Amino acid sequence: MAAPTREDTWLVTVAVGDRALGVFDQFSGGEVDSEEALYSPGGMAAEISLGGRRTIGNVTVSRYCDRALDWPAIKWLVAQVGVARCSIGYTPLTPSGDRGGDPLTYSGTLKTVKPPEHDSTGNDAAQLELEFTVDGVA
């Protein structure tokens, strides 16, 4: 029987430069794809797949913005946009919270820092969101 996997059974950790930012609550993107190259030979022969260059989609992570922990770091993060090298660890967990395998590690550059949104009539949790341009995954 296969081990159960749910969306909440993952550990996402982020480091920007040499600064570990800790655990994040949400992860999206990071798909590994390829460009498609087909060749059509003469004589109406079937197309030939030539493969293609591998591409990796941007990764976006977010978490509850703790005023004491995250707010002081936001100005520093803004200064790192477009220049800081980053790593994002994506580790499977078992339903009991133990590590369930080796992590995927994405590497790239910090692209976007999105501070929490504001709504004077709302009461949703404030979220810090970071987006990364990814150039490697191992």
Answer whether residue 2 shows pLDDT above 90: no
Buried b (16+ CB within 10 A) or exposed e, 108-134: bbbbebebbeeeeeeeeebbbbbbbeb
Q: What is the pTM of this model?
A: 0.90
91-134 residue pLDDT tens: 999 988 999 999 999 999 999 999 999 999 999 999 999 999 99
Amino acid 1: pLDDT: 59
* Three-state secondary-structure class, residue 75: helix
Distance, in Å, from the CA atom of 51 to the CA atom of 38, rounded to the nearest integer, reads 8
CATH class of the domain at 10-137: mainly beta
Reading the block at residue 109, the tokens are 């550059």
78-93 residue pLDDT tens: 999 999 999 999 999 9
